[in-house]
Structure formats: structure tokens, C-alpha cells
Amino acid sequence: MGIIRVNRPAADRNAFEAAWGYVTSIAKGMQLTMKIMLKQLLKLEKSETLEWPEQPATYSERFKGKHFLTQREDGQVRCTACFLCATACPAECIFIEAGEHPDHRIEKYPVRFEIDILRCVFCGLCEEACPVDAIRLGPEYVMAGSAGDKWVYTKEYLLARPQLQGGIASIKVENDKHPAINKIASVENNKSVVRH
């Protein structure tokens, strides 16, 4: 096998021009930045920067922020501990411990209801899966903090934190939580009335 000799590449005479191009591009960018900054400092142009927290941000009604649990008319948690929200959650961040309610007319209720908010992806599937409108994602977006226990939202926190002003009642009527079952029951009641 023979050795193939290759000539050395010619010296790049455009290296200086390329470097000069970088310097001029950076200078043009800095010039534009300074121009915008000075206009906004001298109040010649409106700033698009939001001065938060002094100036609160506004989001659409469909914004999915901090979770909360709704309440019945008597002030108790509306959740029936059916585990549908925990099952639908892709992040597996909802933990529910069910218990029997002292009132036999009410189904199960959550003894413990916790959301590990650091794992939550705010997809809203828990809200969609809930048949009784017990869990919702609200308009609150401020969740900054450093304490470790703050990131696990408990049932008490989800029900009545100060921002909720004492809790939020559900938008569904209590008897409308299972409309198909209620419709079948009313049809059967009407049939039994006709028979007698």
C-alpha cells in the first residue's frame, strides 16, 4: 500500500473577517438592547415587563392553577373517595384514604386527601374524572415556597385556605351527581306508582 501525500490546507485569510463579523453582530445587538432600555427608562415606550407581585397577572378563565376541593351545602367535603381522580392522574400524585361517613345517606368520604404538588403536571385529568365535581383546578398561580411540608396539600388546605374565603360550593346540584342513575330511579318510581 502506498502513502498518499496531501497538501496542507491554505491559510484561512477570512478568519479576521469572521471574527470582525461576530464583534459587529454583538455590537448591533447591544445597541438595540440599550435603545429599548433607555426608551423604557425614560418612559418613551411602554414596557411589556410585568411588575409582579405589585401588578398581578391575569389569566383566562380556563387557566388550571392550584387545586381545591368543593363543599356540599352543609360545608362538608363533596368528595366520595371513589379514587377516580387518583386513578386518572398520570403523575400519581393524589393519595386518598377512604372512610365510612357517620351519616348513612352520604357515601364514603376521604379521611385523608393529599396532593403532592411537586409531582403534579396540572393536566386537569383529576377534575375531568371526578363524577361529583369535588376537585377543581382554580385560578391561583402563586405557589412559591421553600418549606418541605408545604408541597403536600392536605384535605384541610384544599378545602379552606384563606384565598378561598371559607371554601367553595360546588356548581352541581347534590342530586345531579349521577344524572343517568337518578333518571332510571325516577322512571322506576313512576312505574311503581302506576302499578299501585
Question: What domain range is 109 assigned to?
Answer: 67-174
Residue 97: inside a domain: yes
CA 59 → CA 47, 90, 120, 184, distances in Å? 19, 25, 20, 41
pLDDT digits (tens, 9 = 90+) for 97-151: 999 988 887 778 999 999 999 999 999 999 999 998 899 888 888 887 776 668 8
pLDDT in tens, 41-90: 898 888 888 888 888 888 887 888 889 898 887 888 889 899 999 999 99
Query: Which residues are CB-contacts of 131 (< 8 A; sequence separation ≥ 6)?
Result: 82, 84, 177, 178
Residues 192 and 55: their CA atoms lie apart, in Å, by: 62
Is 21 among the domain residues? no
Mean pLDDT of 24-28: 94
**173/151: higher pLDDT:** 151
**36, part of any domain:** no
**pTM as predicted:** 0.62
Nearest to 119 by CA among 144, 151, 96, 142: 151
SS3 category, 152: strand
In a domain, 111, yes or no: yes
Q: Cis (ω within 30 of 0) for the bond into 53?
A: yes
Domain count, the chain: 1
Residue 142 resides in a domain:
yes
Give 174 or 159, the one with higher predicted confidence. 159
How far apart CA 110 and CA 158 sit, in angstroms, is 12
- Examine residue 163 and state whether it is found in any structural domain, yes or no: yes
- Give a yes or no: residue 119 inside a domain: yes
All three cell numbers of 114, joined, read 393529599
Question: At 166, which CATH number?
Answer: 3.30.70.3270
Q: Which three cell numbers stand for residue 74?
A: 352543609
